[in-house]
Amino acid sequence: MKTENQDSDPLKVRILLWANLSYSDMEEIDQTESITDIERILFHALNIDVPEPRLGILLELYTNIVLFCRKRHYNREQTSVLLSIVKSVHQVNIETPLNNMDQCFSYFTELLLCHSVRRPPFSISLFSLEQVTDITKYFINTYMRHYMLYKYIFTPQMYMDLSLTYTGMPESTDTEELASSDNGTKKDAERRNEQGVVSTETLTTDTEGACKRGPSPKAELRSIVQKEVKEEVMCLSAQLEKQLQE
């Protein structure tokens, strides 16, 4: 089943008589007065396969063309061709998210001219000069006036991913390695500082504990020995001084 985006060669200018809507489709449309029924017929005849809200927008576009043709008393062939022309131009529009307004309008004029000049088998005389003028004004005031709206709704959005590179600055990988090295050095220094603090705290705690517990047996023995040695030295000094006086 064809969709709005499928066309083997959308820019090819060709005769579009009964290309999308058959004579029976147009006959059914002419016998219908309800807008809902017209949309239903166009939905099946044009093979529209898009989700909402795109579906509603396309049905409104094509239904307004049918109403325009009725108001101008166009015959079934003219209405069918005009619907196919607008459908073909819309396909060119939604092929790219970029601005191709000039291309779309040029394609529209070429298709309209192809159905306004009798030159078989390349073109047929289906629209008069007055009708060509009316159709062109209608197309400009409707589709082309809302060209950017159709472009925005029916084409995927494009996003720019911008990255900047500065000359003379290290690459991101080198920067990450340097940052990682700095972080490692800082962590090692912090770890050593923490160990030093712990050692100092341990030494202080041991000293305070020793003071609280009092002198050890070795310290007491050393004190006694020093006291005895001092007394003996004083005694010997006194005896030596006495002998010298005699």
Cis-peptide, bond into residue 53, ω within 30° of zero: yes
Look at residue 164 and give its three-state secondary structure.
coil
Q: Which long-range contacts (CB under 8 A, 24 or more apart) does 1-7 make?
A: 1/47, 1/49, 2/47, 2/49, 3/47, 3/48, 3/49, 3/50, 4/48, 4/49, 4/50, 4/58, 4/87, 4/90, 4/91, 4/94, 4/154, 5/91, 5/94, 5/95, 7/88, 7/91
pLDDT by residue for the chain (246 residues), tens digit each?
A: 444 444 445 478 999 999 999 999 999 999 999 999 999 999 999 999 999 999 999 999 999 999 999 999 999 999 999 999 999 999 999 999 999 999 999 999 999 999 999 998 899 999 999 999 999 999 999 999 999 999 999 998 777 777 777 676 555 555 555 556 566 565 565 665 555 544 545 545 555 554 455 566 667 767 776 777 677 777 767 776 666 666
Q: What is the pTM of this model?
A: 0.63
CA-closest candidate to residue 66, choices 80, 46, 50: 80
